[in-house]
């Protein structure tokens, strides 16, 4: 992980990637992002996609999600929220709601809890 937190050097490629991510709720993978921007930048490389994602991650502007066992997915929405995943088609929707869950001390193994993320599993309207 790139630990830089200073100013982002803006390049046309980065602008294209950030434009694609801005407001995007599809939780794209690096490959999705690559496909989306390589139309406009035929020379776009994965190195640039991952480099930009690292830069955004280390600045807290993108979250790396673990909701898909096959590949990493990225979420430009950094407001704390949860995800509801269709177990059949893998569609993912956001759940914007804070659930206050207090874990009793006896269960924490002396960890200090600083956050949480809930994965809900279900069937989307199409797959039901």
Enumerate binding residues for its own copies (CB under 8 A). 64, 66-69, 72, 84, 86-87, 93, 95-97, 99, 101, 103-104, 107-125, 128
Q: Which residues contact 4 (CB under 8 A, 6 or more apart)?
A: 55, 58, 59
Of the pair 57, 81, the CB lying nearest DNA is at 57
Question: Which one of DNA, its own copies, none is in contact with 18 (Cβ closer than 5 to 8 A by kind)?
Answer: none
Of the pair 87, 103, the CB lying nearest DNA is at 87
In a 3-state reduction of DSSP, which class is residue 97? coil
Q: Which residues contact 88 (CB under 8 A, 6 or more apart)?
A: 123, 124, 127
**Is residue 55 close enough to count as binding DNA by CB under 7 A?**
yes
């Amino acid at each position: 992980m790139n630990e830089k937190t200073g100013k982002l050097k803006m390049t046309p490629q980065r602008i294209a990637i950030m434009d694609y991510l801005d407001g995007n709720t599809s939780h794209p993978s690096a490959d999705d992002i690559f496909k989306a921007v390589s139309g406009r930048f035929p020379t776009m490389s994965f190195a640039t996609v991952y480099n930009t994602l690292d830069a955004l991650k280390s600045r807290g502007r993108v979250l790396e999600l673990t909701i898909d066992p096959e590949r990493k997915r990225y979420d430009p929405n950094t407001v704390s929220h949860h995800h509801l995943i269709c177990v059949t088609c893998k569609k993912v929707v956001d759940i914007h709601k804070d659930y206050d869950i207090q874990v009793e001390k006896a269960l924490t193994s002396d960890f200090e809890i600083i956050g949480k993320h809930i994965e809900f599993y279900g069937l989307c309207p199409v797959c039901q």
